[in-house]
Amino acid sequence: MPTKREQIDAAMKHLRAGDPIIKELIRRVGPFRMKLRRDRFQALVRAIVSQQISTAAAREVLRRLNELVAKEGLTSEVICRLDTESLRSVGLSRQKASYLRDLAEKTREGQLRLNRLGRLSDEQAIEEMTTVKGVGRWTAQMLLMFSLGRLDVLPHDDFGIRSAIRNLYELDELPDASTSQRIAEPWRPYATVACWYLWRSHEL
């Protein structure tokens, strides 16, 4: 069985050979350094908090949330004990507070079995995660990429990915799903790695 390092090396070789634009982006950005978040509950909390707000704003809300639960840690049991106003005090909207509570309750009660997601296909895992209020396809894909380490995920609904494709491939407007899929075809089966570089392209 190949190691993760061997898989990444294979991905880099594949992407460089298959797409000259990604090859140049890899040269400019440098080595692939995506770190996985092993705690799946915390990874979903992070993804929910990050919905439709800036990275800086999400980071601040997460910092305040971790401060709030510092004594016991960010777990489903702790979130279940917090009321909506406590969650809102860290900067969450009422809607997102309800999403976190639903996530915590479904996790605690075993309706969402985070420990078995790794045994499911990407689509099966997405189907299971999207039973939680506020967890749509994009949120589930973030967990696939950043927690489960799935190597062939293309989150087309992500604005950063779509805008990077528009900029790098010199499109007149943001790509629709079919255009993104067509451009990403040479990346398969390593779309996750290519997407990590697309996100980094905004920092160049």
Domains along the sequence of the chain with CATH: 4-35+153-201 (1.10.1670.40), 40-146 (1.10.340.30)
Distance CA 96, CA 62 (A): 12
Kindly state the average pLDDT of the residues 22-50: 95
Side-chain-facing half-sphere of 172: CA atoms under 13 Å: 0
Handedness of CA 70, 72, 75, 81 (dihedral sign): negative
For residue 199, the number of C-alpha atoms closer than 13 Å in the C-beta half-sphere is: 15
Residue 144: what pLDDT? 96
Q: CA dist 14 to 20, 22, 136, 154, Å?
A: 11, 10, 30, 16
Active site residue 158: yes
pLDDT, the chain, mean:
95
Q: pLDDT digits over 93-124, tens only?
A: 999 999 999 999 999 999 999 999 999 999 99
**Residue 52: band (very low, low, confident or very high) from pLDDT cuts 50, 70, 90:** confident
Per-residue confidence at 188, pLDDT binned at 50, 70, 90?
very high
- pTM for the full model? 0.89
> What is the model's pLDDT at position 3?
64
Q: Per the residue annotation, which of 19, 102, 158, 176 is the catalytic one?
A: 158
pLDDT score, position 2:
55
d(CA 188, CA 191): 5
Dihedral in degrees, nearest 10, Cα atoms 161, 35, 46, 180:
20
